Amino acid sequence: MPVIFLLIIGAAAGFIATRLMDIEASVPTTIAIGVLGALIGGAVLRFLLMLTGLAFGFIGAVLGALALIWVWQTYFR
């Protein structure tokens, strides 16, 4: 069940992040960006602020996805 939850949150976070950063990506890429962003953002947010919960996890996922897109556009294009 946690894997399905991670995919759903990742897809939503990836969708929001790709729209905020104004990039066009396929659905699998959007989900991958969101899931990786969720892992990065969730770890950083929990480490720095030591907050838990669904709302903070989603905010961390969006922030992590935004950071991942920024790194991808800055260094890999």
Domain regions of the chain by residue span: 2-75
pLDDT on residue 50: 62
Better-scored residue on pLDDT, 73 or 60: 73
Q: Give the integer Cα–Cα distance in Å for 1 and 77.
A: 35
Better-scored residue on pLDDT, 43 or 1: 43
pLDDT on residue 24: 83
Q: Which amino acid is located at 76 in the chain?
A: F
Q: How far is CA 10 from CA 6, 35, 38, 60, in A?
A: 6, 4, 6, 11
Q: Is 60 left (phi over 0), alpha (psi -120 to 50) or beta?
A: alpha
Better-scored residue on pLDDT, 3 or 67: 67
pLDDT on residue 54: 58
Q: What is the pLDDT of residues 10-48, one digit of tens each?
A: 788 888 888 888 888 888 888 888 888 877 776 776 666
Which DSSP category does 31 fall into? H
